Structure 1
Amino acid sequence: MTFEHVYNKVKDVPYISKNNAKSLYDFIIKNKPSHILELGIAHGTASCYMAAALEEIGGGSLTCVDLIEVKDSFKPSVEEQLNSLGLNNNVEIHRMQSGYNWFLHNDIKSNSDNAHNICKPKYDLIIIDGPKNWTIDSSSFFLCDKLLKENGWIIWDDYKWTYSRADLRKDATDGISHRRLSEKELTTPHIKAIFELLVMQHPNYGNFIIQEDSDWVWANKIKSPSAKKIKYVHSHSISYYIIQKVRKLIRK
Structure 2
Amino acid sequence: MEFQYVYNKVKNVPFISHRNAKTLYDFILKHKPAHILELGIAHGTASCYMAAALDEIGHGSLTCVDLTEMKDHFKPSIEEQLNILGLNKQVDIHRMKSGYNWFLHDAIKSNSNNPENICLPKYDLIIIDGPKNWTIDSSSFYLCDKLLNENGWIIWDDYNWTYASANKRRDATDGVTHRNLSDDELKIPHIKAIFELLVMQHPNYGNFIIQEDSDWVWANKISNSTHKKVTYQQSYSARYYLIQILRKIYKRFK
Alignment of structure 1 residues 165-176 onto 2, 5 Å = 165-176=165-176
Secondary structure of 1:227's counterpart equals coil
Q: Give yes or no for contact 2:208–2:231 (8 Å, CA) kept in 1.
A: yes
Q: Deviation of residue 114 (structure 1)? A: 5.1
Q: Give yes or no for contact 1:168–1:178 (8 Å, CA) kept in 2.
A: no
Q: Give yes or no for contact 2:16–2:45 (8 Å, CA) kept in 1.
A: yes
Q: Give yes or no for contact 2:203–2:226 (8 Å, CA) kept in 1.
A: no
Alignment of structure 1 residues 98-247 onto 2, 5 Å = 98-113=98-113, 115-236=115-236, 240=238
Rounded to whole Å, the distance in 2 between the matches of 1:59 and 1:86 is: 15
CA deviation profile, 1:220-241 (whole Å, cap 9, x unmatched): 000111300000011335xx49
After TM superposition, where is structure 1 displaced by more than 3 Å over at least 4 residues in a row?
none
Secondary structure of 2:125's counterpart equals strand
Which residue of structure 2 aligns with residue 76 of structure 1? 76
CA deviation profile, 1:22-49 (whole Å, cap 9, x unmatched): 1100000000000000000000000000
Calculate percent identity across the aligned residue pairs. Answer: 76
Unaligned runs of 5+ residues in structure 1 are: 245-252
Q: Does 1:5 align with 2:33?
A: no
Q: Give yes or no for contact 1:48–1:81 (8 Å, CA) kept in 2.
A: yes
Unaligned runs of 5+ residues in structure 2 are: 243-254
Rounded to whole Å, the distance in 2 between the matches of 1:17 and 1:43 is: 13
TM-score, normalising length from structure 2? 0.93
CA deviation profile, 1:189-228 (whole Å, cap 9, x unmatched): 0000000000000000000000000000000000111300
Rounded to whole Å, the distance in 2 between the matches of 1:22 and 1:148 is: 23
Secondary structure of 1:118's counterpart equals coil
Q: Does 1:62 align with 2:62?
A: yes
Secondary structure of 2:146's counterpart equals helix
Rounded to whole Å, the distance in 1 between the matches of 2:146 and 2:222 is: 13
Rounded to whole Å, the distance in 2 between the matches of 1:96 and 1:189 is: 25
**2:90 is aligned with what amino acid?**
N
Which residue of structure 2 aligns with residue 46 of structure 1? 46
Which residue of structure 2 aligns with residue 250 of structure 1? none
Q: Does 1:36 align with 2:22?
A: no
Rounded to whole Å, the distance in 1 between the matches of 2:46 and 2:104 is: 20
Rounded to whole Å, the distance in 1 between the matches of 2:175 and 2:113 is: 34
Q: Which deviates further from its counterpart, 182-191 or 114-123?
A: 114-123
The Cα RMSD (Å) is: 1.4
Q: Deviation of residue 160 (structure 1)? A: 0.2
User: Rg larger in 1 or in 2?
Assistant: 1
Rounded to whole Å, the distance in 1 between the matches of 2:115 and 2:83 is: 42
